[in-house]
Structure 1
Amino acid sequence: METTLKILVVEAERERARDITEALVDGGWANVTVMESSVGLARAIVDADPDIVLIDISHPDRDTLEQLSIASDARSRPVAMFVDRTDADLSQAAIGAGLSAYVVDGLQKNRIKPVLQTAIARFNMMVKMQSELDAAKRALVDRKTIDRAKGLLMQARGVTEEEAYSLLRKAAMDQGRKVIDVAQALVTSADLLR
């Protein structure tokens, strides 16, 4: 586990903030910044650029949860939220808000390190899955573009699908470009000529 992580803690009570900071330092994380209020959290995130955000809030409501998630940029970094109580709707809202960890029954010093480690691992897993999903979507769009370009060549040149792909591949090699780039140029040109 990396010990150079910058951690931003949002905790209104000074004594709890001290306990959290001590637990983080005991866990090997010394680079901790504490905010006493979630007011101005978005600006503090920009200024501190933390690697992870830890929020301790007694009784969140759906709006507070969503605002804290947006302000802490939960899609760009792991965010762990500790709450004293919750219900099914708030748990679903936490998942929807992209929180990496949503821990009920409040924050306890002995749980901080394992929860943060889990939050980091979950966040990294979600980033990887999103990256793979984006790559799959891009590949599907590229495949459709290449198929459309092949169709245009088949119609214009009276060639088979295999021959059309060979023409695209040869043009790409001759121009030092990717097949998708040549296909996209062909599709764009065809659209302009309509």
Structure 2
Amino acid sequence: MRRAWAPAGGGPVAVQADAEAFLRELAEPVAVMDGAPGPPAHWLFCAGTDAGADALIETLRRVAVVRPDGLPGPVAVLGPSLDGAAHVALVEAGAQAWGDIGTVDEAALRALLDRAGARWRREHALRSELVRLRTRMDERQWVDKAKGLLMLARGMGEDEAFALLRSTAMHANLRLGEVSRAVIDAARWAGSVNRAGQLRMLSQRFARLAAQARAGIEPARSLDPHRAVAARIDDNLDQLARLPAQPDCAAALARVRAARDGLVAAWPPRAAPRDLVAIDAAAEALLEGAEALVETLQVAGGRRALRIVNLCGRQRMLAERIAKSALLAAAGVATDAALLPAAAQAFESALAELEQAPLTSPEVRAALAEAREEWLRLARSLQHLGRPQGGVALARSAEALVDTFDRLAAQYEHSLQVLLA
């Protein structure tokens, strides 16, 4: 039941005696009189019995779950005489005032509603101030984290990092805390794309080391490192598992974990040529899973600047893939003849795109020049693979390219264009 009333705060009063209906009104306020939108100014609950009061207490507790920021307006209760424990329970549940339904008259009811309104307004003001204080404290923490990240990633001083955050906030018309949180989020997504991209490279390195070991090329540099590759895959997967839960990312990560298990199981203590086929197939499964994971993370990150981290990081995989394909072919393992030239073409195209990208710096340009020189050395080593030490030159050139693009990917990951995207 509802009717108009005029307590000191003004506005209509919603009168209700059914706890479930009361719950719906408090959780989702509706029009209250003459089609006027918005919640009523007061709620008056009539608890005719002790059971009604108990039902109200439970209802208010349920509303607190739905509306953790507090009730939308003052709640007054009319009911039978209650003991002290019931009064405490009503207050803790959120009611602002209670009156004896057997003795209340119009004047007492007005006073009851006015009292409830005054208490609610005071509680609302205190709650609002608490929210503001918590927001400021939360924003200060984000600002401190963002400053620390910029100081570490860009070598800035504290004052310079703060000035950058403040100017960015002003230009974007955002609060300083919002910009700081965005910087932290950008760093997290860029780091995740980079880590997932490393999984692509590690899949191909694992197979390349198997082919290298079978060919007797620097056995000490192939047998033990394959265990280190597996450990690095595990470490990256553990780091990626700490990302905020998202169904698509979780599914992609689970696929990579399953592929990792298959890859490690495919390398027996003494690999024969037929084992190289199984190892390469398992490496391809991990590569496909890692590619899907990178794309999923890039989409989830929602920042176009992540693409250059992805593009640069993929060069590591292509360098290892080229070396792997050449070594497998030299070992007499049947592979798709189109894979090696396709990987080489993809590497050259991506390198040219990175060289022309607007996101640059003196450090980036120097690293790209180094990568260009190493890429030419790797191409020459492919032509000389049949010569003595040809396999050694190929493997070391691939590793040097991976190291170069590891540094480049880190520079892109920590660039201001990515962090402030």
- Larger mean CA deviation between 144-153 and 163-172 belongs to 163-172
Question: Equivalent of 2:179, from 171, 177, 182?
Answer: 182
Residue of structure 2 aligned with 1:128, choices 106, 125, 128:
125
From 170, 180, 191, the counterpart of 2:188:
191
Does structure 2 retain, via aligned residues, the 8 Å contact 1:59–1:85?
A: no
- RMSD over aligned Cα atoms: 2.8
Q: Distance in 1 between matches of 2:150 and 2:22?
A: 55
Unaligned stretches of 5+ residues in structure 1: 12-36
Q: Identify which of 49, 55, 74 aligns with 2:45.
A: 55
C-alpha distance in structure 2 between counterparts of 1:119 and 1:6, whole Å: 14
* Paired amino acid for 1:119: A
**Residue 6 of structure 1 pairs with residue 12 of structure 2:** yes
Q: 1:56: Cα distance to partner?
A: 2.9
In 1: Cα distance, 2:179 partner to 2:40 partner: 42
Q: 1:65 and 1:107, CA in 2 relative to 1: closer, same or farther beyond 3 A?
A: farther
Deviations 1:61-89 (A, max 9, x none): 46412245357x98112111123221232
Q: Provide Cα deviations, 1:135-191, integer angstroms capped at 9, x if missing partner.
A: 111111111110000001111233332222112122333444432232122111111
Equivalences for residues 107-118 of structure 1 within 5 A: 107-109=103-105, 110-118=107-115
The aligned counterpart of 2:158 is 161
By how many angstroms is 1:8 displaced? 2.4
1:87 aligned onto 2:106: no
Give the structure 2 partner of residue 99 of structure 1.
95
Q: Within the alignment, does 1:65 sit opposite 2:65 as a pair?
A: no
Q: Which structure would you say has the larger Rg?
A: 2
Distance 2:113 2:54 in 1: 24
Structure 1 residues 47 and 161: CA distance shift in structure 2, 3 A: same
| 8 Å contact kept, 1:66–1:93 | yes
Other structure's SS at 2:50 match? coil
> What secondary structure sits across from 1:46 in the alignment?
coil
Distance 1:160 1:64 in 2: 59
Maintained 8 Å contact 2:16/2:45: yes
| Greater relative CO (CA pairs within 8 A, separation 6+) | 1
Change over 3 Å in CA distance of 1:135–1:2 after alignment to 2: closer
Q: Verify the 8 A CA contact 1:58 1:106 in the aligned structure 2.
A: no
Q: Please, which moves more after superposition, 56-65 or 142-151?
A: 56-65
Relative to 1, partners in 2 of residues 1:39 and 1:170: Cα closer, same or farther, differing over 3 Å?
Answer: closer
Following superposition, the deviation at residue 100 of structure 1 comes to 1.4
Moved over 6 A (4+): none
Question: Residue 77 of structure 1 corresponds to which residue in structure 2?
Answer: 73
The answer to whether the 8 A contact 2:47-2:79 is kept is yes
SS in structure 2 of the partner of residue 143 of structure 1: helix
1:82·1:107 contact (CA, 8 Å) conserved in 2?
no
- Whole-angstrom distance in 2 between the partners of 1:40 and 1:178: 40
Q: Which residue of 2 aligns with 1:46?
A: 30
Partner deviation per Cα, 1:26-49 (whole Å, 9 max, x = no partner): xxxxxxxxxxx5564445663534
- Structure number with higher helix proportion: 2
In the other structure, the counterpart of 1:24 is none
Q: Distance in 2 between matches of 1:151 and 1:78?
A: 45
Q: 1:115 Cα deviation (Å)?
A: 1.4
Q: Output the TM-score relative to the length of structure 2.
A: 0.36
Any conservation in 1 of the 2:19–2:56 contact (CA below 8 Å)?
no
Percent identity of paired positions between Structure 1 and Structure 2: 27
Residue 86 of structure 2 aligns to a residue in which SS? Answer: helix
Q: How many residues align?
A: 167
Aligned with 2:77: secondary structure? strand
Rounded Cα–Cα distance in structure 2 between residues aligned with 1:39 and 1:139: 37
Higher strand share: 1
Distance 2:111 2:186 in 1: 56
